[in-house]
Structure 1
Amino acid sequence: MNRPLDGVRIVAVEQYAAGPYGTQLLCELGAQVIKIEAPSLGGDISRGLGPYFLGEADSQFFQTFSRGKQSVALELKTPQGRADFERLVAGADAVVNNLRGDQPEKLRLRYEDLEAINPTVVCAHLSAYGRGNSREAWPGYDYLMQAEAGFMTLTGEPDGPPVRFGLSMVDFMTGSVFALGIVSAILGARASGTGCDVDVSLFDVALHQTSYPAVWAMNEGHHADRLPRGAHPSISPSQRVRTQDGWGMLMCQTERFWRLFCDLVDRPDLQADPRFLDMPARRANLDALTPILDAIMATRTGAAWMAYLGGRVPFSPIADLAEALDNPFVAEVAMRDHIDHPARPQGLDMLACPIRVDGQRMPAARAPALGEHTDTLLGPKAPGSAR
Structure 2
Amino acid sequence: MKPLEDVRIVSLEQYGAGPFGSLHLAALGAEIIKIEDPRSDGDVGRYVPPFNEGRDSLFFESFNRNKSSVVLDIRSPAGREVFEDLVRSADAVYSNLRGDVPAKLGIRYEDLAGINPAIVCCSLTGFGMDGPRSRQPGYDYVLQALAGWMSVTGEPGGPPQKSGLSLVDYSGGMVAALALTAGVHAARRDGVGMDCDVSLYDTAIGMLTYVGTWQMNEGWEPQRTSHSAHPSLVPFQAFEAKDGWLVIGCAKEKFWQRLTEVIGRPELAADPRFATFTDRGVHKDELIPLLEEVLLTRTVAEWLEPMQAASVPCAPINEVHEALTDPHTLARGMVVHTDHPRYGRMASVASPVRVGAPLAPDEHRRAPLYGEHTESVLRSLGYDDARIADARGRGAFGD
TM range (shorter): over 0.9
Q: Match of 1:341?
A: 340
Shift of residue 364 of structure 1? Answer: 2.0
CA distance in 2, matches of 1:132, 1:155: 29
The 5-angstrom pairing of residues 191-202 of structure 1 reads 191-202=189-200
Answering whether residue 327 of structure 2 is matched by residue 328 of structure 1, we say yes
Which deviates more, 55-64 or 16-25?
A: 55-64
Which of the residues 359, 377, 389 maps onto 1:382? 389
* Aligned positions of 1:133-212 closer than 5 A: 133-212=131-210
Structure 1's consecutive aligned runs of 4 or more residues displaced over 3 angstroms after TM superposition are 357-363
1:83 positional shift = 0.2
| Amino acid of the structure 1 residue aligned with 2:258 | L
Question: Are 2:122 and 1:124 equivalent residues in the alignment?
Answer: yes
Identity %: 44
Call closer, same or farther: CA 1:3–1:306 in 2, change over 3 Å.
farther
Question: What's the TM-score, normalizing by structure 2?
Answer: 0.93
Contact 1:353 1:361 in 2 (8 A): no
Larger mean CA deviation between 108-117 and 305-314 belongs to: 305-314
Deviations along 1:30-81, whole A, 9 cap, x unmatched? Answer: 000001111221100111111112x531111011111110011111110000
Deviates more, 1:62-71 or 1:352-361: 352-361
Which among 339, 343, 351 is matched to residue 349 of structure 2? 351
Letter in 2 for 1:112: E
Which of 293, 296, 300 is the matching residue for 1:295?
A: 293
For residues 227-270 of structure 1, the C-alpha deviation after alignment (integer angstroms, 9 at most, x for no partner) is 22111111110011111111111100010100011122221110
CA contact (8 A) 2:92 2:119 kept: yes
User: The residue matched to 1:179 in structure 2 has which SS?
Assistant: helix
One-letter amino acid matched to 1:377: V
Cα distance in 2 between the residues matched to 1:3 and 1:307: 40
Once the 2 structures are TM-superposed, how far is the Cα of residue 359 of structure 1 from its aligned partner? 4.9
Shift in CA distance, 296/359, structure 1 to aligned 2, threshold 3 Å? farther
> Contact 1:241–1:290 (CA<8 Å) still a contact in 2?
no
Partner of 2:60: 62
State the alpha-carbon separation in 1 of the partners of residues 95 and 333 from structure 2: 31
Figure out how many residues of one structure are paired with residues of the other and give that number: 384
- Once the two structures are TM-superposed, the CA of residue 343 in structure 1 deviates from its matched residue by 0.9
Native 8 Å contact 1:129 1:202 kept in 2: yes
| Unpaired runs of at least 5, structure 1 | none
Cα-Cα RMSD: 1.4
Q: Which moved more, 1:178-187 or 1:307-316?
A: 307-316
Residue number in structure 2 paired with 1:373: 373
Letter in 1 for 2:8: R
Shift of 1:361: 4.6
- Give TM-score, length-normalised by structure 1: 0.96
In the alignment, is residue 25 of structure 1 matched against residue 24 of structure 2? yes
Q: Which amino acid aligns with 1:314?
A: P
Question: Paired residue for 2:382?
Answer: none
